[in-house]
């Protein structure tokens, strides 16, 4: 089968197409023919061993994914496709089923086929959406769900989402609204309209207004893009308020510190723990019209280098998808 592989950490050009052996499912696994995957910030960070985050994070990253070279040669954690074969113990999926889901840090989805356990983070693809759309659901969807649950976001609470137009942010706006919160989205001018379409109650253009200076306060501030800070946001949090982080070693330390001192907390926990039920919830929300994945660009698998370069600009709106083979829904 064709797969995108890499044998050393580095820039997007370390990625290349190669013929590799097609995997065979174990008894509790499905073999899925992948029709679409997504290029995520996590893929890019892993590929370059988190070089941009400093030496300590690079060392931690390499200790997980391979000290000298990557142990898993195939990146990609998002997938949507068709079940091609099943192991003898598989009960809930059948050959021909349309599925979608996430392999998380096991990766392996930049490929024509993947084996995945039937109780992993997969579900039947929602009716009426394409493989491309389905492949773009879980990166932002699962991460945002994990973060909002950490904050125990409830009905009527006020949340501000900074970086609301990214993969996690665009999912966060929709999920926060689903949880009954009052949602203020912060993004640049070009994404203001999108925020309204996703259901934000208010939108702040950060090129025109600094939310930390407008006198408004929130129960939760969700930095969905890792570009703000607890220190700068603290004055905009209500007493007992929570700052939700998605990135940064400093936030791990602050999370411990603020759990003991002060009445405003940083919430950050990695690795995120997602379950199959979370994927099923996203499927149900899509079918109910309460959630959709935002897709910025779509590339064919062979254009992976170009796609990864675009994701690395940190300017994608929502998600970047890679298509592999046929595109029927
Ligand atoms: N904790 C985890 O397990 C985990 C997993 C995956 C990703 N992450 C991290 O989560 C973060 C978000 O990932 P993502 O894929 O959702 O991001 P993304 O899609 O790459 O975010 C891109 C968006 O961020 C906005 N942006 C860029 N620079 C900004 C700035 N300086 N200030 C405000 N907004 C800015 C841009 O929109 P505007 O033009 O509208 O500003 C752009 O559309 C990353 O830091 C990533 O490393 C964490």
pLDDT tens column, 109-126: 999 999 999 999 999 999
Which secondary structure element, helix H or strand E, spans residue 39, and what is its range?
strand 29-39
Q: Please tell me the residue having the least CA distance from ligand 1 atom 47.
A: 41
Long-range contacts for 208-213 (Cβ within 8 Å, ≥24 apart)? 211/160, 211/162, 211/184, 211/186, 211/236, 212/236
pLDDT band at 53 (very low <50, low <70, confident <90, very high): confident
% of the chain residues with pLDDT over 90: 91
**Model pLDDT, residue 97:** 98
- Kindly state the tokens that stand for 205: 């253009």
Best mutation site among 163, 186, 192 for ligand 1, i.e. most ligand atoms within 8 A of its Cβ? 163
pLDDT band at 270 (very low <50, low <70, confident <90, very high): confident
Calculate how far, in angstroms, residue 41's C-alpha sits from the geometric centre of ligand 1: 8
Mean pLDDT of the chain: 95
Ligand 1 pocket, Cβ-based, cut-off 6 angstroms: 41-42, 45, 140, 143, 163, 165-169, 187-188, 191, 206, 224-227, 246-247, 270, 272, 314-317
**Model pLDDT, residue 318:** 98
Contact partners, residue 261, CB within 8 Å, separation at least 6: none
Q: Please tell me the residue having the least CA distance from ligand 1 atom 48.
A: 246
**Model pLDDT, residue 271:** 83
Rounded CA-CA distance 74/85 in Å is 21
Q: Which residue has the tokens 């994070």?
A: 57
**Model pLDDT, residue 51:** 84
- Kindly state the tokens that stand for 105: 């840090």
Rounded CA-CA distance 15/12 in Å is 6
Calculate how far, in angstroms, residue 227's C-alpha sits from the geometric centre of ligand 1: 8
Whether 148 has a pLDDT exceeding 90, the answer reads yes
Calculate how far, in angstroms, residue 22's C-alpha sits from the geometric centre of ligand 1: 34
Mean pLDDT of 196-213: 97
**Model pLDDT, residue 66:** 93
Q: What DSSP designation does 11 have?
A: S
CB 28 within 8 A of CB 90: yes
> In 3D, which of 67, 85, 286, 305 has the Cα closest to residue 174?
286
Calculate how far, in angstroms, residue 18's C-alpha sits from the geometric centre of ligand 1: 30
Mean pLDDT of 50-64: 87
Rounded CA-CA distance 166/181 in Å is 19
Q: Is 329 helix (H, G, I), strand (E, B) or coil?
A: coil
% of the chain residues with pLDDT over 70: 99
What atom of ligand 1 comes closest to residue 168's alpha carbon?
Answer: 16
Calculate how far, in angstroms, residue 316's C-alpha sits from the geometric centre of ligand 1: 8
Rounded CA-CA distance 232/227 in Å is 11
Whether 245 has a pLDDT exceeding 70, the answer reads yes
- Kindly state the tokens that stand for 254: 């602050």
Bridge partners for 54 per DSSP: none
Residues in the chain, total: 329
Of 154 and 25, the structure prediction assigns the larger pLDDT to 25
- Kindly state the tokens that stand for 141: 């969807």
This prediction's pTM: 0.95
Q: Please tell me the residue having the least CA distance from ligand 1 atom 37.
A: 165
**Model pLDDT, residue 328:** 42
Range name among 160-169, 262-271, 295-304 with the lowest pLDDT average = 262-271
Best mutation site among 50, 166, 247 for ligand 1, i.e. most ligand atoms within 8 A of its Cβ? 166
Mean pLDDT of 299-325: 97
Mean pLDDT of 4-15: 97
- Kindly state the tokens that stand for 214: 């407008």
pLDDT band at 56 (very low <50, low <70, confident <90, very high): confident
CB 300 within 8 A of CB 326: no
Best mutation site among 225, 232, 296 for ligand 1, i.e. most ligand atoms within 8 A of its Cβ? 225
Bridge partners for 268 per DSSP: none
- Kindly state the tokens that stand for 73: 């040669």
**Model pLDDT, residue 329:** 41
Which secondary structure element, helix H or strand E, spans residue 32, and what is its range?
strand 29-39
**Model pLDDT, residue 326:** 53
Best mutation site among 140, 142, 168 for ligand 1, i.e. most ligand atoms within 8 A of its Cβ? 168
Whether 175 has a pLDDT exceeding 60, the answer reads yes
Q: Angle at which helices 138-150 and 167-178 pack, to 10 degrees?
A: 50
């Amino acid at each position: 089968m064709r797969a995108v592989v890499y044998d050393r950490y580095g820039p997007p050009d370390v990625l290349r197409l190669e013929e590799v052996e097609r995997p065979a499912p174990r008894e509790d696994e499905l073999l899925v023919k992948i029709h679409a995957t997504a290029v995520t910030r996590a893929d890019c960070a892993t590929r370059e061993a988190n070089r941009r985050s400093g030496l300590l994070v690079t060392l931690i990253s390499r200790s997980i994914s391979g000290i000298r070279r990557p142990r898993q040669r195939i990146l990609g954690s998002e997938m949507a496709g068709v079940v091609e074969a099943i192991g003898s113990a598989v009960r809930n999926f059948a050959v021909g089923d349309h599925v979608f889901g996430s392999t998380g840090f096991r990766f392996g989805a930049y490929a024509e086929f993947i084996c995945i356990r039937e109780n992993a983070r997969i579900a039947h693809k929602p009716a009426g959406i394409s493989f491309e759309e389905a492949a773009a659901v879980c990166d932002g969807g699962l991460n945002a769900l994990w973060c909002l649950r950490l904050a125990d976001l409830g009905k009527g609470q006020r949340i501000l989402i900074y970086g609301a137009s990214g993969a996690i942010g665009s999912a966060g706006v929709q999920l926060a609204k689903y949880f009954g919160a009052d949602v203020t989205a912060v993004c640049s001018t070009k994404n203001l309209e999108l925020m309204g379409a996703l259901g934000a109650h208010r939108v702040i253009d950060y090129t025109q207004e600094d939310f930390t200076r407008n006198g408004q306060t929130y129960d939760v501030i969700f930095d969905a893009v890792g570009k703000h800070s607890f220190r700068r946001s603290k004055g905009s949090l209500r007493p007992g308020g929570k700052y939700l982080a998605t990135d940064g070693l400093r936030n791990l330390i602050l999370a411990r510190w603020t759990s003991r001192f002060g009445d405003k907390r940083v919430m950050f926990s990695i690795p995120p723990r997602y379950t199959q039920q979370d994927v099923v919830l996203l499927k149900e929300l899509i079918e109910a019209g309460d959630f959709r994945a935002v897709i910025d660009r779509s590339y064919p698998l062979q254009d992976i280098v170009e796609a990864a370069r675009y994701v690395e600009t940190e300017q994608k709106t929502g998600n970047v998808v890679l298509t592999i083979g046929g595109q029927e829904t």
